[in-house]
Amino acid sequence: MKLCHFSFLILLALAVSQSFGQTVIKGKLHGAVNQTVRYADISAKANFPLYCKKTKTDSKGNFRITLNTESPTFFWVAPEKAKLNYMIVKPDGKYKVEFGQEGENFKIKGTDAELNTFYSNLPHQALQALKKLGRDGDIHKKAKAKKVAEYKALDSLTKLKKLSQEVLNAIKRDRALFYAEQDILLSIRSPEPFKTVGEALRLANDPQYKTCVAFLPLTESIIKAKVRSDKSYSREKMRALAKQGKAHTFTVNTAKKYFEEPVKEAFIAYYIHERAFQKRFEKELVSLFDEFKQSYPASSFTPHVQPLVSKIEAFHKKVAQPAPDNIHFVENPKTVTSLEELLKKFKGQKLYVDVWATWCGPCKTEFEHNKELKKLLKRKGINVLYISIDRPDREKAWNEMIRYYELEGSHIRAEKPLVKDLEKIFGNGGGLSIPWYMLIDENGDIVKKRASRPADLQSLENEISVSFKSL
């Protein structure tokens, strides 16, 4: 599921001018009427991903957005829960956009249409762009070739008449940050890791780059590189700090050493927000946020981070209460080495199996539909078996989340042999994608290897009817 989560956009400009130009974006969402369209412009004082603005299409799929801007501003628009489409708008600009229900086939007409079409088709997430290049030894050459081709195409656009130099310069600044982050990610595999961080840090602390799409992702990559390049760094050290509830504090303190204001404030807010959004419910984030509020009592970011931190506080309050009676744990879980062996313990029962983990965001999102799921399964006489693939060091978090989400049914945290067997059954060349759901009959046989998730309850009910003929 794609949320506004992938575009944490903010403005760090000092002051807003008295006079603005009204930007108008007219759009059409094909194949849908009276639907929600999300959008955000980086000129908003604190435009966190979960707090993007929304509008509705009319009965023909049309919508209209107006913005007050004083300079070229990065902007994105998308249907609900679909890919983001990026462009750049300027004061008094008039634009027409159109796209499908998944955000596909994005087209732009109007002011600086050629530049915007070019920019919207570029990759905007450095890590994802590198993944698409593959993992072979030529990845550095491929990345360099992509960069050269992109800048060559951008240079050719400068020859267009009536081209906005301001828009062109804004795009160039954004791409400089994008490739600075990509260079950091590539340097991890090089003989001299992270030697490009110095230039990236200079760009991040330069005020003219603060409103670029690539700004905040770059700041996170910079700090990751600084943490890893520290002489005292090791995975064992970070794991030990995590167990002590100090790993995030270590990262934030590293950021304080290298970032200047207002970048420092923005990064800390961004960092806490992103970690809290993952719903691991780490108490350390509550303490960090308290410190943030003390350091920045008037921060415009506070109202957007607070709801997520409040959920962490609510989580720990709830898990301190007694667990519901109908939560059961498989006996002798360490002796279970295969799914077949596990299912023997449930012979005679129809099962809906949920393979999940505490670190899996989509898994936890599906738990929000458990109330409706429970009604359906009870009506069909089907029990639930939850299989967690968490590591042993997540045992405490696993138990807490079972209570927090009130996961009624049977539970087991899979040991390595069972995880390997699940990977084999999943059939993805040794990989395992979660959440993963299965339907099991009374004989312990898999009758639906990839069942629908709780969010798609109607499809699941249809699968149950087909898989269990007697129901």
CATH number at residue 459: 3.40.30.10
Listed residues 112, 145, 165: the one ending a domain:
112
In this structure, are residues 330 and 409 in contact, taking their beta carbons and an 8 Å threshold?
Answer: no
Task: Establish if 360 belongs to a structural domain.
Answer: yes
Does residue 172 lie in a domain region? no
Q: Is the pLDDT of residue 49 over 90?
A: no
Residue 470 has pLDDT above 90, yes or no: no
Residue 93, pLDDT above cutoff 50: yes
Asked if 407 contacts 324 with a C-beta cutoff of 8 angstroms, the reply is no
Peptide bond preceding 435 in cis form (omega within 30 of 0): yes
* Residue 354 bridge partners (DSSP): 386, 437
Q: Is 402 within a domain?
A: yes
Output the 3-class SS for 405-434: CCCCEEEEECCHHHHHHHHHHHCECCECCC
Using the Cα atoms of residue 56, residue 58, residue 61 and residue 65 in order, give the sign of their dihedral: negative
CA-wise closest residue to 263 among 303, 293, 296? 296
The domain spanning residue 42 has which CATH number? 2.60.40.1120
Of the candidates 112, 133, 164, which is a domain's last residue?
112
* HSE-up (13 A, CA, CB side) for residue 307: 7
Quote the radius of gyration of the chain (alpha carbons, Å). 25
Q: Over the stretch 54-80, which tens digit does the pLDDT of each residue have? A: 999 999 999 999 998 888 899 999 998
Specify if 343 maps to a domain.
Answer: yes
Angstrom distances, CA of residue 267 to CA of 12, 112, 261, 447: 11, 32, 10, 48
The DSSP call for residue 332 is S
Distance CA 152, CA 185 (A): 23
In whole angstroms, give the CA distance from residue 7 to residue 13. 18
Res. 4 pLDDT band, cuts 50 70 90 = very low
286 found inside a domain = no
- Cα separation, 263 vs 12, in Å, equals 8
The answer to whether residue 65 is domain-embedded is: yes
pLDDT, tens digit, 9 for 90 and up, residues 428-465: 666 789 999 999 999 999 999 999 999 999 999 999 99
Q: What is the mean pLDDT of residues 326-341?
A: 95
Residue 365 tokens read as 């999102």
Which residue type, as a one-letter code, is found at position 235? R
Read off the pLDDT of residues 379-414 as tens digits, 9 standing for 90 and up. 999 999 999 999 998 999 999 999 999 999 999 999
Q: CB-based contacts of 217: which residues, under 8 Å, 6+ apart?
A: 125, 126, 181
Structural domain of 457 = 327-467
- If one counts the domains in the chain, the total is 2
Sign of CA dihedral 339, 340, 346, 351: positive
Q: What percent of the chain has pLDDT over 70?
A: 90
Residue 212 lies in a domain: no
Question: Does 21 fall in a domain?
Answer: yes
Last residue of a domain, one of 112, 143, 178: 112
What single letter denotes the amino acid at residue 175? R
Q: What distance in Å separates the CA atoms of residue 247 and residue 267, rounded to the nearest whole number? A: 16
Instruction: Report the distance separating Cα 308 and Cα 48, nearest Å.
Output: 12
